[in-house]
Chain A
Amino acid sequence: MNDGTHAGHSGPAPAPPAEIRFHGGKAMSAVPILFFIAWAIAQSGVLGIGDTAGLIVGMLVGLILGMLLVRGNWADYAEAVVEGMAQKVAVTAIVAWLWAGMFAATLQAGGFVDGLGWLAETAGMGPAVFPAVTFLLAALLATGIGTGYGTVIAFVALFFPAGVVLGADPLLMFGAILSGAVFGDNLAPVSDTTIVSAVTQDSDVGGVVASRFKYAIIAATLAFIAYLGFGWASTGAAIDADAAALFRAQSNASGLFHLLPIAVVIGLAIRGRHIIQAISVGLILAVAINLLFGLAPGTDMLVFRVAEDSWAAARFGDWPLVQAVAAAEAGVGGSLYDGPVGFATLAVLILLVLGGAQVMIRGGGFHALQEWLLEKVARSVRSAELTMVSVTAGINAAITINTAAQIAIAPYIATIGKRFNINGYRRANILDANTSALGYIFPWAGGVLVGYTQMQGLAETYDWFTPAMVVEPIQAWPWVFHGWLLVAVFLFSAWTGFGREYTTDRISKGHATQ
């Protein structure tokens, strides 16, 4: 006898539900996702078109092409697409985008960015240190509120423009924000991914957070140093002098009143309130601060623009929150509109991608890949852990919401890990760190696209924000230092045994989630 993967009964890997059969075998179930990835690379990488709605077309066409390859009943395929789109994790992510979008846009309307500008000037914080400080603060916010997506939205809306206009490198700034989101998703006790990683590996949340601290803090320390170093090195970057002058002229300490609603959101999240509750309270407070201190009129937050020659303009034109405008400009506006509406397109895209991923799961392509890894690659504890790290990182290429990626891969990580008696904490840590990291690195990942979507709206918000300051998703991946370093720390740990625990050392406390 050699090891658990050979002679004798070694326990079945988790089997998917009723399989959809494809012409050309199980690998063909990956066609919709592979087509989408190729489309995304061609569209955004080769043609340089950063249009999220264009990616929707790519995914739709991929799903149709995949269906043509199905043997037998197409209804099962269609059902799998809907099944994938209906996952709760997708809706949870979209909810975070919508609420964070409203909140961030309302803080923008109240001049929070102008407040940051004032603070940076007063504290003498130059462009060299801005990315490093942004990384720290984004990590802090993400750890507090438990949503990396929400953090990306808030920081791209608020810190990114302030840093860039003061001369910090946009690539470093975006990378630092994404890094902070990775840190929070990985470590926050209230993060979806933390909870999923603990529950699926028979562990308690407190135990996994404590045991993953060492990996997170090593990677974060190195990332912080890297942001400082690259920040210093890039201070010679050309600054748009007009933009900087305009920004300085607008800087105003009163915007910092909005630190209060941010603190309230973090406090409520840490106390275990749902993200909808926490951000709603913060939002109400932000609106009240805007109105009470005159930071923004009500129409900056919500406005009904009615056509000036209409009956409605004559009747309601002088009501609060109503403006009479030229017919072509009629519509709803303000931060409560602009904030969340920008994410509607991305929400549709993410749902479709999860539909495509479900086809791959139900078509057996995913299962076949995992079985191959289990039988052929994971032959020693070192290769098993290296496989676990690579697979958890790579899964984000196909399933672009990191929580969904984790849920899909979790049973396989449990199976591989248990065959070498790797304990639940170690398995949960490998699972969470690498899915969190790559979820903010692949150019088509939800975390990157959500930041890019937010960034595109900045030119409309600020006079001084120029299109040249926008970072395309394809440009961001090398600069997500904490993400890369976290993967590197785990590859090192798998190779050397750093932090490894066997069930004979300690058995994780199963199933308790809080």
Chain B
Amino acid sequence: MSIRPFRNWRFRSDTPVFAPGEEIRAYLTAFDPATGEGRARIGDTVLSVAGASAGQVDQLVDLRVQSFDPAQSIGRAEALPAVAD
């Protein structure tokens, strides 16, 4: 195990930025059964997630970012089939 005590001495934004095409892993934080759309909130950035299910809320989900608006810190992503906890 590598111990790196000086890792991450930095200030992280409240609104992390993602690039279209970027693949990330995050907790699905909500799912709206009315629209069938999920949501992954990362800090104060919100990604609308297509292709997720209600059972994946609070689970780690692999996502591919489709579009992202850094000015509003919102974007769209699709859930990828490979799922890990």
> Which A residues are within 8 Å of any B CB, using their own CB?
1, 3-4, 6-11, 204, 206-207, 209-211, 213-214, 217, 380-382, 418-422, 496-505, 507, 510
Contacts and interface: CB of A to CB of B under 8 A. Distances in A.
B39 to A, nearest CB: 6
B3 A206 contact: yes
Contacts of A3: 29-30, 39, 41, 46
Given A206-B1, A210-B3, A504 B26 contact: yes
A1 B39 CA distance: 9
A419 B30 CA distance: 8
A501 B24 CA distance: 14
Interface of B: 1, 3-14, 16, 18, 24-27, 29-34, 37, 39-44, 46, 48, 54, 57-58, 60, 85
A259 to B, nearest CB: 28
B26 A503 contact: yes
B25 A504 contact: yes
Contacts of A214: 5-6, 8-9
A420 B42 contact: yes
A11 B11 CA distance: 29
Contacts of A507: 25, 60
A9 B33 contact: yes
B60 A504 contact: no
A381 B7 contact: no
Contact of A418 (B25, B27, B44): B27
B13 to A, nearest CB: 6
B54 A9 contact: yes
Contact of A8 (B24, B25, B39): B39
Contacts of A382: 14, 44
Given A209-B3, A507-B60, A499 B9 contact: yes
Given A8-B39, A420-B43, A499-B9, A210 B31 contact: no
A513 to B, nearest CB: 12
A418 B58 contact: yes
Nearest to A499: B8
Contacts of B26: 421, 502-504
B9 A4 contact: no
A381 B44 contact: yes
Contacts of B29: 3-4, 10-11, 418-421
Contacts of A510: 85
Contacts of A11: 29, 57-58
Contacts of B48: 1
